[in-house]
Amino acid sequence: MLENLGNMMDLVKKIQANVDQTQEQLKSERVESNSGDVIKIAMNGQQEVLSIELNPKYLSAENAALLQDLLVATINNTLAKSREINQQAMSKLAGDLNLPKIPGLF
């Protein structure tokens, strides 16, 4: 029984090392979205915003509502891309480790 526990602990350590490595890779991944030449947003694979660029020629009180709408849409688009690469990485990790398909886990 203790031998099985040792094997289980080795497996847990291997999984943790692979998860850590995947998380580091996702941190270095970069996805971008833009709304024409108005807004450009960059995010990493862990859904952290890296940059937001606004074209200064559109910064005026008259454009405030448009900029707000474009900002929300561009952030959501970038977030969807980031989530997609995160999900792909986690699915690959689960496959590499021969983990069973557990809904919501990866």
Count of domains observed in the chain: 1
Identity of the highest mean pLDDT range in 9-13, 54-58, 95-99: 54-58
Q: Please report whether residue 43 resides in a domain.
A: yes
Reported pTM: 0.75
What is the CATH number for 47?
Answer: 3.30.1310.10
18, pLDDT greater than 70: yes
For 91-103, what is the mean pLDDT?
71
Classify residue 87: in a domain, yes or no: yes
Domain-located, residue 74: yes
Please tell me the total number of residues recorded for the chain in this structure.
106
- Residues 83, 76: Cα–Cα separation, whole Å: 10
Per-residue pLDDT tens for 54-81?
A: 999 999 999 999 999 999 999 999 999 9
